[in-house]
Amino acid sequence: MPTAASNLPPVLRPEHPLVRSLAELASRFATRVDGDTSATTLSGITLATADLRPGEAFVAIRGGNSHGASFAAEAAAKGAVAVITDDEGARLAADTGLPIVVVDDPRAMLGDLSAWVYGTGPGDALPVLFGTTGTNGKTSVSHLLEGILAQLGVVTGLSSTAERHIAGQVIVSRLTTPEASEFHALLALMRERGVEAVAVEVSAQALSRHRVDGIVFDVAAFTNLSHDHLDDYADMREYFEAKLPLFHADRSRRAVVSLDSAAGAEVAARAEVPVVTVATPDIAEDADAAARADWVVEIVDERQDGTEFRLNGSDGRSLTTVVPVIGRHMAANAGLAIVMMLEAGYAWDALIAALDGKRIEASLPGRTQRVSGDRGPAVYIDFGHSPDAFEKTLAAVRRVTPGRVLMLFGADGDRDATKRDDMGRTAVDGSDILVVTDHHPRREDPDRIRATLVAAARRARPAAEILEFSPPERAIFEAVALVGEGDAILWAGPGHQDYRDIRGIRTPYSARELARRALRAAGWPVPEPTWPVPYPADTTPSSDPERPFDSP
């Protein structure tokens, strides 16, 4: 059955939070205080009444349609000890009886407030913090960092689009980068549990919306820049500028910058912190500039079980290892991760001992993840949803596939529509068969989204084999029927996600499990799943997009 959009993973808190004085908070941050704060203490801070716990302060900000202070009475009923808000919010929350701490801009101050409440600011004892930004590769770099750190015996934490990890505990993510109050609480919990290093995926939106305020990363990294997120930013220049603050001295101490996209050189030039560069000439936009990087990733071999590469330093150091997924871009991500660790102070000799001549032991959920068995078509599930991601991943699949390549994909509804033409063109240019289906339609008409993608593909290659099936539960079964031994399917978009957003409802869904079922129905052997399945095993695909599964 569909689940409500609010049915999200819980926000985590430290198990033994600091107890803070509200009066001291007010003295540090407030422009004024309404009510008596002298006897009040707090143990946490949150933006959302749904996540509020007794003893916490409720931060009320103005949203697009209403002011958060409209929910102050609900917060008080749930045990909030104070409201932190602006002048407008103070008027709306006046009848709650709670002390009200008024600040100029509660959204902009949330990071600093949270850092003080949880003791996770720049001057506090924290794990080593790695932050990665860029259009593509952020999640992969973060998971590769975690895997390599674990091979060195480091206790790790992770915050990515896919998952949150705390010393081995795995929690599904809500946002690419959590809200500042959630992020600082997560860091405090990681510290409690002995985490020594944390890999964090930092989106442009996280920087623009103050989600990483109050954090100084030990090493920040830039992967690349390509067409995406123009629903949030006016143009590519504004999108690029939104990422640059991560490389300011108040947000990071050192930087590692990939020169594989043209934007990398500008990031390196404008960073306010020491910069080391890395590049992969085989995929770089400017191969000559890439060859002059401080570290160069040299592709050694590509096969279905991984990509072997050599990381060469300008000082003569060299390391050869295998990233456990296909693609030169994945080798580039791994090289970036290794250099980040060097810049954080991890020893070269330790990295040699753990990696040289060996495989990187990392799990990358939904990143060119093979879900098929040893016989039959190879089926890869990927989270890529931009033209650049399509181009690189299709090329990677092509290089390890003896037969035909089928591309299956859809586009997000209520998101950047300007990239859809390029998605359709890139998908058809890189495949032998193209199947267009639905992704997250949200509140858009899925028929219109598919029509745009199909039209773009037909303009690019009028004679290509282009098919359209809805819903995706049907599309994958149709796709598997079109291929055979030695062929490959790349299903781009859904990756690790366990739901589809249909009219604001999170409908249980797993592309990885659907692909397994389609392969099994076609008579091909499939391995057992290594991921949770969000619907019962005794359900079968339905042709109704509003009810994608029926019981037999």
Residue-wise DSSP of 404-437 = -EEEEE---TTS-GGGHHHHHHHHHHT-SEEEE-
Q: Distance between CA 74 and CA 499 in Å, rounded?
A: 29
* Confidence band for 536, pLDDT divided at 50, 70 and 90: low
Closest CA to 184 of 246, 113, 250, 133: 113
Q: Would you say residue 280 has pLDDT above 60?
A: yes
Q: Which residue has the tokens 């936009």?
A: 285
Domain 20-118 = CATH 3.40.1390.10: yes
pLDDT for the residue 545 = 44
CATH number of the domain at 128-359, out of 3.40.1190.10, 3.40.50.2300, 3.30.460.80, 3.90.226.10?
Answer: 3.40.1190.10
Q: Which residue has the tokens 């600091």?
A: 18
* Confidence band for 539, pLDDT divided at 50, 70 and 90: low
* Domain range annotation of the chain: 20-118, 128-359, 369-550
Over range 296-303, report the average pLDDT: 97
Q: Distance between CA 415 and CA 444 in Å, rounded?
A: 10
pLDDT for the residue 177 = 64
Q: Would you say residue 333 has pLDDT above 70?
A: yes
Q: Distance between CA 319 and CA 297 in Å, rounded?
A: 10
Q: Would you say residue 176 has pLDDT above 60?
A: no
Q: Distance between CA 495 and CA 531 in Å, rounded?
A: 12
Closest CA to 144 of 373, 399, 329: 329
Q: Distance between CA 509 and CA 534 in Å, rounded?
A: 6
Residue 527 CB: number of other CB atoms within 10 A?
11
**368, 471 contact by CB (below 8 A):** no
Q: Distance between CA 72 and CA 74 in Å, rounded?
A: 5
Closest CA to 283 of 222, 240, 328: 328
Over range 107-135, report the average pLDDT: 95
**345-349, 392-396, 480-484: which has the minimum mean pLDDT?**
392-396
pLDDT for the residue 161 = 78
Q: Which residue has the tokens 């705390």?
A: 166
- pLDDT tens profile 503-532: 988 888 899 999 999 999 999 999 988 777
- pLDDT tens profile 116-125: 999 999 989 9
Q: Would you say residue 64 has pLDDT above 70?
A: yes
Domain 369-550 = CATH 3.40.449.10: no
**DSSP structure class, residue 442:** B
CA distances to 34, 73, 139, 186, 461 from 10, rounded to whole Å, are 31, 22, 21, 11, 46
* Confidence band for 10, pLDDT divided at 50, 70 and 90: low
* Confidence band for 467, pLDDT divided at 50, 70 and 90: very high
pLDDT for the residue 95 = 94
Q: Would you say residue 45 has pLDDT above 70?
A: yes
Q: Distance between CA 189 and CA 43 in Å, rounded?
A: 13
Strands (E), 110-177: 128-133, 156-159, 163-166, 169-172
Containing H/E element for 204? helix 204-208
Q: Would you say residue 551 has pLDDT above 60?
A: no
* Confidence band for 160, pLDDT divided at 50, 70 and 90: confident
Q: Distance between CA 187 and CA 13 in Å, rounded?
A: 9
Over range 484-498, report the average pLDDT: 92
pLDDT for the residue 524 = 96
